[in-house]
Amino acid sequence: MADRPVRGTPAWLRETNDRTALSLLLEHGVLTRSRIGELSGLSKPTAAQMVSRLETAGLIHVVGEVSGGRGPNAASYAVRTDRMLGVAIDIDATVLRSTVVDAAGGEHPIALTPLAARTPEDDVRAAVAAACEAADVDADRVRAVCIGVQGALDPRTDELTYIETLPEWPKQGILRRLQDALGYDVHIDNDANLAAIAERADGAGHDAGGFALLWMGDGLGLAVDQGGAVHRGASGGAGEIGYLPIPRDAAELDPDAHDLQDLVGGPTVARLAAAHGVPEFGTSDERADTSGSADAAAARDALIADLAPRVAVGVVPVLALLDPERIVLGGPTGRAGGALLAERVTALLREQWGCPTIVATGVPAHPVLRGAREHLLGEVRSALFAEVSRITV
């Protein structure tokens, strides 16, 4: 990137104005030159110059006209969202889910790519291609990807840990290998951490000073949000709560369980759900409305009553060690259990812990992808603003 202009010079002023115009278009969507001038507090001639520079650089384009009454119609402008793109990817044991991320934060289709016995770069490349095809955009515009995995990446050693679901992926040097092969920025994060980012953006944690997300999926994990920043730990492995041994007084819940993963992990929840006659619980096939069947509702209530004390065992160490303002129950089990599961867990812990604030996830679908999308939104917009620096003359 070219050197930034010296503060106070005409070039610096032009860049500042251009960044302001681009920010307004990203925030408000389609705007006319006149409206950009009004929102920025700058004169119409200055606004016209800003728009002209951004349009010449290919960062914005005309998308229509607005009638201004007397005189000719005014052209309306929007950011070229296809100029720089990212792709968010969520990988589980069988499939890669991917979706395009643009600077405007628009919604794009989610593509599914089977996780085959391929190299990591082929897996990611296939997911990127599928997402771009689904969104009808050029894959050459992709500048960054964010990948959610059921594991952790040590930032000090570039080593993947807790990654049993990706046996074909090498543990050492994965980030460098992907970046060298693909030619764009790659960010790898734990799925629970990305889900916490989604909860902070527009879910159950958006108005909290801090919160802990207990992620209950195939695996069990914990993400800790501290004022909007996710705590990942020195090795990137903070929150691997599933490996904690269960306390002696909880052994009666499941005599065969040795750790929290055994007690409330995905396979155990699936077994309990099948036993209660709710085999779709926590799956993509689950029907959200069971009010039409009293038997189905009763079966779900009985399942949640069975799950609540197990989940409570996992919540206790979070309360004891972190004392968070709020605990969010997320992942497929937290989503399926909803408010009722949160209420049951709260009731079980009330006597010992007062009245802890335990709530269900506020992100109804694809929280890992949505968290990756939030991460990439910042990267894509930063890349656009970097282009503004390059056009300053």
What angle (nearest 5°) sits at the alpha carbon of residue 172, between those of residues 168 and 177?
A: 80
Report the pLDDT value the prediction gives residue 288, as an integer from 0 to 100: 47
The two structure tokens encoding residue 355: 């009245």
Q: What is the pLDDT of residue 3?
A: 62
Tens of pLDDT along 345-373?
A: 999 999 999 989 999 999 989 999 999 99
Q: Which residues contact 270 (CB under 8 A, 6 or more apart)?
A: 279, 281, 282
Per-residue confidence (pLDDT) for residue 65, from 0 to 100 = 82
What is the 3-state secondary structure of 175-195? HHHHHHHHCCEEEEEEHHHHH
Which residue ranges in the chain fall short of pLDDT 50?
1, 288-291
Return the pLDDT at 4.
64
* pLDDT value, residue 165: 78
DSSP state of 245: B
Tracing tokens 């992990």 back to the chain, one arrives at 265
Half-sphere exposure of 385 (CA within 13 A, CB side): 16
Give the three-state DSSP class for 70. Answer: coil
**Sign (positive or negative) of CA dihedral 287, 290, 293, 295:** positive
User: For residues 35 and 41, what is the distance between their CA atoms, to the nearest angstrom?
Assistant: 10
In tens, the pLDDT along 300-326 reads 999 999 999 999 999 999 999 999 999
Helix H or strand E encompassing 213 = strand 210-216
155's tokens: 């930032």
> What pLDDT score does 70 carry?
62
Q: What is the pLDDT of residue 97?
A: 97
37-55 burial by CB neighbour count: b if 16+ within 10 A, else e?
A: bebbebeeebbebbbebbe
Bridge partners of 208, per DSSP, are: none
User: What φ, ψ does residue 192 adopt, rounded to 5°?
Assistant: -65, -35
Please, which residues have CB within 8 angstroms of residue 280's CB and are 6 or more apart in sequence?
A: 273, 286, 287
Distance CA 249, CA 296 (A): 32
Is there a contact between 102 and 141 (Cβ–Cβ < 8 Å)?
no
Quick check: 162 and 185 in contact, CB under 8 A?
no
Separation between Cα atoms, residue 189 and residue 372, nearest integer Å: 9
Provide the pairing of β-strand 142-149 with 85-91: parallel
3-state helix vs strand vs coil in the chain, percent to 5:
45, 20, 35
Total-model pTM: 0.89
Q: What is the pLDDT of residue 242?
A: 92
The string of DSSP codes covering 266-279 is HHHHHHHHHHTT-T
